[in-house]
Amino acid sequence: MLTAWRKRREDVWSHFSYDNIATKTTCRECGLSFRGKNTTNLKRHLQNGHFAIFSELQKTIADGGQPATKKAKMSNQNIEDAFTSTTKYKSDAKEQQIKEEAIATWIGCTGLPVTTVEDEDFILMMESLDKKFTVPKKTKISNLIEKHYENKKATFKKRLSSARKVCIGTDLWTKKGLTASFLGISCCFFCVEQQKPEHLLLALEQLDHPHTAQSIKACVEKCMQEWGILNEKVLTVITDNGSNMVAAFKHSAPEDEDSSSDDPDASILSESDSKETENLQCQDMGMDRMPCVVHTLQLVVHMINKEESINRVLNKVRSIVKLFRKSSVATQKILDECGLTVVNDCPTRWSSTYEMVARLLKVKESVCEVANEMGWDCLLSSEWQKLKSMQELLQPFAEHTQTLQSDTMSMSLILPALFDLLSHLADVEQNTSRDVAALARKMEGNVNQRFAWVLDPSDDKFSPLVAAACFLNPTVCQTLLNVADDNIQELLKQAEGYVVRCSQTQENHSDLEELNGPEPAPPAAASSSSSASSSSRQPVFRFLSKFRTKPKPKSSKCSVRQQMSQYKEELSQSITCETGMEFWLGKCDTFDHSLKPLALDILAMPASQPFAERVISITGDLTRGKRNRAEFTLARSAFLKMNRSK
């Protein structure tokens, strides 16, 4: 046992001396001698006979001086803590493993180099947080990142395997300088396990030039095969309006010139061979494509640049914005005035023209004041008024763009958004100036033309999927049912027919599985005694079993028509749910056994593919310089970063 001896109080003993032979203590101030050397007696003597010295001694202690006995006591108490604080975690300790996995997840999601863990400042930081933690080497971190990636991938594969329907989203992006291109592939579905919609990044593949339809199609098919996604599960594929994307998902797309064979004899086919090849292509491309709604809306918005009088005002606005953004003096002045600055538009950024116009109108007074001080020309009163009309024209487009670019549950909002925009454009035609009204009229025609596949049931490319999503969302369908418009009622009729067909197909598939039962297991090696006993119990008549019909399964399930009628009746009543997803999740599985799964699958789908676009904007730093040459590391980092909260 360790014992700390009491140390002498130097501040007290500086006024006394001790004689070891006589065992007496003598005061140096007055010469008085007394037996022993107890510090308390010495202090009492100073207090009674030398009060000034005693007061100074007390003041020294109050200013921070501690008696030696207290220091010894504290050092004795901290011995155990000192030994414990320097003991490192064992390599298999839970605390060590948790911190190692956290570092691996952080580096894997951010795309930082694994050599970060060998940086001196990083090691010092971790030691200051926990002295017991040993920072692992880069090899171990690489292995932990790979393990985390594989675990995440296995989890998502399990969820995808139980999904009934999925929606594939794709987007192609090229780096500045055209040195590398990347294809982002995402998947949206209703997760049966978690009972909510999910949107996952499946892959980020580097694509070589040229970006032909065949190369895009092959990349998507490879990704689907890796994730075990069957074509029958794909409800639709959402892409932009690029010609290569459109051709990649056509049911019978002709081969590009780039991918044609150089052998002249290869193009000589008989008539039967040609038909057979065409049929194979149709079967191979058994996925429907849907254009990105937000991309298409932006094409309508860009019509403002084709109207001469409107474009003239916009060009003047752009020149003013350019002057401000190039002048640090003007920028500082407008910041001092209103705390905001002007913003420029960008052709590839959604709703950027509206944001430029709206910001300029918001800081109008400050812009005019600073422009006068700088000696710059500004807009006329009539031009400011026209700019105000343009803001009112573009505002609904910006609002619906924001709504429709959500990752999930936005397909059912396409029809209401389009009807709202058409109604808005019709109002603008009657309540604004002549040139803005003419622009609104052209935009209205352009909306009807570009979205004929959604709005016009008689169109050759009409798809009832969007109308079905709207029909299955009671929060919007309830209002449309009461609209006295023949086109809307025809769309709802087409949607109802589509839902019935899909539900019956799914129901027939389920009934077929019930009738056929599970696949027979391979015969196991059984003993002769067990086979003999089983044959003695039940004689086998192969002739009779040939003609024996399988009994129909008894079920109390309602038909699809009954489920549809019940749903329509509920639409005539007040709907308290905020979303269609919430409405169907609260339905009974027994009664709505066919309609509920289909509704959940369709309502989970997005209206556009900005999720695939955000892959590049979020992980764009990972592609700078030479870092994109590590293709697997880039794809892994993008996968972990986009799916980190799922």
Compute the distance between CA of residue 269 and CA of residue 264 in angstroms, rounded to an integer: 11
Instruction: State residue 10's pLDDT score.
Output: 73
| Cα–Cα distances in angstroms (integers) from residue 511 to residues 164, 507, 514, in the given order | 16, 6, 5
Compute the distance between CA of residue 390 and CA of residue 325 in angstroms, rounded to an integer: 23
- ∠140-144-145 over CA atoms, to 5°? 120
Q: Are 194 and 212 a contacting pair, CB within 8 Å?
A: no
Q: Is 174 helix (H, G, I), strand (E, B) or coil?
A: strand
Please give the DSSP secondary-structure letter assigned to residue 117: G
Burial of 108 (0-12, 13-18, 19+ CB in 10 A): buried
Only one residue has tokens 């606005």, namely: 317
Instruction: State residue 443's pLDDT score.
Output: 96
For the chain, give every residue range classified as CATH 3.30.420.
Answer: 162-254+286-291+609-642
- Give the CATH number of domain 162-254+286-291+609-642: 3.30.420
Annotate 285-299 with b (16+ C-beta within 10 A) or e (fewer). Answer: bebebbbbbbbbbbe
pTM: 0.74
Q: Cβ atoms within 10 A of the Cβ of 85, count?
A: 10
Q: Give per-10-residue mean pLDDT for the chain (646 aa).
A: 55 81 82 79 81 78 55 53 70 93 91 90 93 92 94 95 95 80 93 94 89 92 94 93 88 40 35 35 61 95 92 94 93 93 91 95 94 92 93 96 94 95 94 90 96 94 94 90 88 93 73 47 43 44 50 59 88 88 87 86 94 77 52 83 87
Only one residue has tokens 């972990």, namely: 640
Q: What are the DSSP calls for 541-581, one per residue?
A: -HHHHHHPPPPPPP--PPPHHHHHHHHHHHHTSPP--SSHH
Q: Is 205 helix (H, G, I), strand (E, B) or coil?
A: strand
Compute the distance between CA of residue 634 and CA of residue 622 in angstroms, rounded to an integer: 7
Annotate 188-202 with b (16+ C-beta within 10 A) or e (fewer). Answer: bbbbeeeeebbbbbb
Instruction: State residue 283's pLDDT score.
Output: 37
Range list of H helices, 327-473: 328-338, 352-362, 364-374, 381-404, 414-431, 434-450, 452-455, 465-471
Compute the distance between CA of residue 26 and CA of residue 636 in angstroms, rounded to an integer: 83
Nearest CA among 196, 192, 163 for reference residue 407: 196
Compute the distance between CA of residue 59 and CA of residue 286 in angstroms, rounded to an integer: 93
Q: What are the DSSP calls for 582-598, one per residue?
A: HHHHTS-TTTTTTHHHH
Instruction: State residue 550's pLDDT score.
Output: 52
Q: Are 424 and 396 a contacting pair, CB within 8 Å?
A: yes
Instruction: State residue 481's pLDDT score.
Output: 85
Q: Which amino acid is at 619?
A: T
Segments of 103-143 assigned E as strands: none
Instruction: State residue 9's pLDDT score.
Output: 72
Q: What are the DSSP calls for 210-231, one per residue?
A: S--HHHHHHHHHHHHHHHT--G
Q: Are 251 and 286 a contacting pair, CB within 8 Å?
A: yes
φ, ψ of residue 24 to 5 degrees: the values are -130, 150
Compute the distance between CA of residue 637 and CA of residue 646 in angstroms, rounded to an integer: 15
Please give the DSSP secondary-structure letter assigned to residue 378: -
Instruction: State residue 83's pLDDT score.
Output: 53
